[in-house]
Amino acid sequence: MHVVLGVTGGIAAYKVALLLRLLKESGHDVTVVPTQSALRFVGEPTWAALSGRPVATDVWTDVHDVPHVRIGQSADLVIVAPATADLLAKAAAGLADDLLTNTLLTARCPVVMAPAMHTEMWEHPATQDNVATLSARGVHIVPPASGRLTGADTGPGRLPEPEELFAVCERELARAAAPSDQTAGGDPAAASTADPRADLAGLRVVVTAGGTREPLDPVRFLGNRSSGKQGVALAAAARDRGADVTLVLAHGEVDPPTGVDVVSVSTALELKTATETAVAGADVVIMAAAVADFRPAHYADRKIKKTHDPGDPDAAPTIELVRNPDILAGLVTQRGSTPRPLIVGFAAETGDDTGSVLDLGRAKLERKGCDLLVVNEVGTDKTFGRDDNTVHILRRGQHEPVADLGPAGKDVIAHGILDAVVAAVTTG
Ligand code: CTP
């Protein structure tokens, strides 16, 4: 694919060299279009060496090639990172006074912008209006992260990490390449008329993610191998599609995305309380968390010593477990006969003597009573902690999966799951 990487004059331009490398390593042709200010932060040789191409810096070089039109027309994706307040204002107004702004006017492919600036500039009503205008036109705005800015100050305005921007690029390219009449859920009419970037606008979506930890004593717990990546990718994807997202996040390996409400929890019982609170008034709840089915019956408030039994110094303790409540099944009961929220469960299955992964998934969907079940095969080298995933989505009342997704990145899978959610919400 041909990606145009627009770089504007912000200190975060240095981070974008890593984004360029990620794009190149995954096989894309990248044309870097830095503004004159960007070149004061990172020079032309860096962009040329990392992209392996000459760097277009103004509309007057190679005029016979008409670069101000050709670069935008031939792009499969344009990403501007960092996007300064000045660039956002120019793009919103449709100005075309340099190569990058000309490119933005001629591009007909997906456009992603990652604003980065000081908090005051980001929060200024002029910038916010420009962002709203661009977003309404279909530009994918990646909201800035909160954190350390150029100086000692902190706040929203930081460029998200290159890996996060790369994931957005990959997803936009995958979505653009996907035939629009093959959306999961079998509702091509809904798929072709909906704005792919705003089809969850106005909906409240609750996502649970990560693995719970059930404490045994102050230093030990029973846990599981969930990384939280798929749930966090779902929260980010739902945010990008316009939903108001609450992420109930247990333990994992990834930070929560920006732009969603995060409720941090540790145990299954905490996750239950937080989820039941969050689902009030929600339209969709997605239970991606790996919830412990059991917890120690007794919590020792002091560390259990190796020689815990004075009568037998070699004895190993026996841990008694009790069942945790089934939160997903509880949500289904709590909802009763009302259609909302739409409830999506996950099934981690290995398959066994009694049936295949899909057979066990069908039985679990029946047992749990949710609307959609995302079935994935788990095993030592599958799913947990990995960046890619393969899933089948089952819908209540249908024998065959409504979608078989992957292997693909967890963000691409997240959008496939949300396509099935949109189809289920649309068709009732
Ligand atoms: N889940 C839940 N509460 C639990 C256990 C699981 O809400 N106590 C949810 C998970 O978030 C997931 C779904 O139920 O959405 C299925 O989880 P899974 O671990 O695959 O199934 P279990 O119910 O634990 O069934 P089994 O152990 O028989 O596979």
> What pTM was computed for the model?
0.63
276 Cβ below 6 A of ligand 1: no
Cα 332 to ligand 1 centre (Å)? 13
Q: Is the pLDDT of residue 139 over 60?
A: yes
Tens-place pLDDT, residues 76-85: 999 999 999 9
Q: For residues 205 and 320, state if they share a domain.
A: yes
pLDDT above 70 (res 384): no
272 & 219 share domain: yes
Residue 163 identity: E
For residue 322, the CA-to-ligand 1 centroid distance in Å is 15
Q: Is the pLDDT of residue 308 over 80?
A: no
Dihedral sign, Cα of residue 120, residue 124, residue 127, residue 129? positive
Range in 15-19, 90-94, 165-169, 360-364 the model is least confident about: 165-169
Q: How far is the CA of 378 from the centre of ligand 1 (A)?
A: 13
For residue 31, the domain's CATH number is 3.40.50.1950
The ligand 1 atom at the shortest distance from the C-alpha of residue 323 is 8
Percent of the chain with pLDDT over 90: 62
Q: What is the pLDDT of residues 252-269, one digit of tens each?
A: 999 998 888 899 999 999
- Residue 347 Cβ inside 6 Å of ligand 1? The answer reads yes
Could you tell me if 33 and 4 are in contact, meaning their C-beta atoms sit under 8 angstroms apart? Answer: yes
Residues 92 and 215 in one domain: no
Sign of the Cα pseudo-torsion (106, 2, 256, 9, in order): negative
What are the structure tokens assigned to 6, written together?
């627009």
In short, whether 348's Cβ falls inside 6 Å of ligand 1 is yes
What is the pLDDT at residue 329?
96
Q: Which domain holds residue 423?
A: 184-297+315-427
Instruction: Output the pLDDT for position 199.
Output: 85
Side chain identity at residue 404, one-letter code = D
Q: Is 224 tagged catalytic? A: yes
Asked if 147 and 194 sit in the same domain, the reply is no
Task: List C-alpha distances in Å: 250 to 253, 323, 343.
Answer: 10, 19, 19
Between 101 and 139, whose confidence is greater? 101
Q: Which is it for the CA torsion 44, 47, 53, 55, positive or negative? A: negative
What does the pLDDT average to over 344-356? Answer: 88
Statement to judge: residues 380 and 268 lie in one domain: yes
- For residue 218, being part of any structural domain is answered with yes
- Residue 381 reports pLDDT greater than 70: no
Instruction: Provide the domain count of the chain.
Output: 2
> What is the pLDDT averaged over residues 353-379?
91
Choose the catalytic residue: 130, 224, 324, 389: 224
- Rounded Cα gap, residues 64 and 70, in angstroms: 11
Q: What's the CA-to-centroid distance between 374 and ligand 1, angstroms? A: 12
Q: Are 35 and 109 in contact (CB under 8 A)?
A: no
Which pLDDT score is estimated for 417?
94
Q: What is the pLDDT of residues 161-184, one digit of tens each?
A: 898 889 889 878 877 776 543 333
CA distance 308 to 321: 19
Listed residue (323, 294, 297) closest to 213, CA to CA: 294
Question: How confident is residue 386, by pLDDT bands cut at 50, 70 and 90?
Answer: low
Segment 403-412 shows an average pLDDT of 82
Radius of gyration of the chain (CA): 24
Q: Grade residue 59 by pLDDT with cuts at 50, 70 and 90.
A: confident
9 has pLDDT over 50: yes
In sequence order, what are the residues at sequence separation of 6 or more whose Cβ sits closer than 8 angstroms to the Cβ of residue 87?
6, 8, 35, 80, 100, 101, 113
Cα dihedral value 7, 10, 12, 18, nearest 10: 20
Evaluate whether 243 touches 421 at the Cβ level (below 8 Å): no
Reply yes or no on whether the pLDDT at 197 is more than 60.
Answer: no
Residue 87 CA to residue 114 CA, distance in Å, equals 11
pLDDT bin (cut points 50, 70, 90) of residue 231 is: very high
**Residue 204's domain is classified under what CATH number?**
3.40.50.10300
* Tokens found for residue 64: 């016979």
Residue 4 · residue 71 · CB < 8 Å = yes
Question: Is 217 found in the same domain as 106?
Answer: no
Whether residues 274 and 381 fall in one domain: yes
Tell me: do 244 and 98 sit in the same domain: no
- Of 346, 352, 358, the residue with max ligand 1 atoms within 8 A of its CB, to mutate for a pocket test, comes to 346
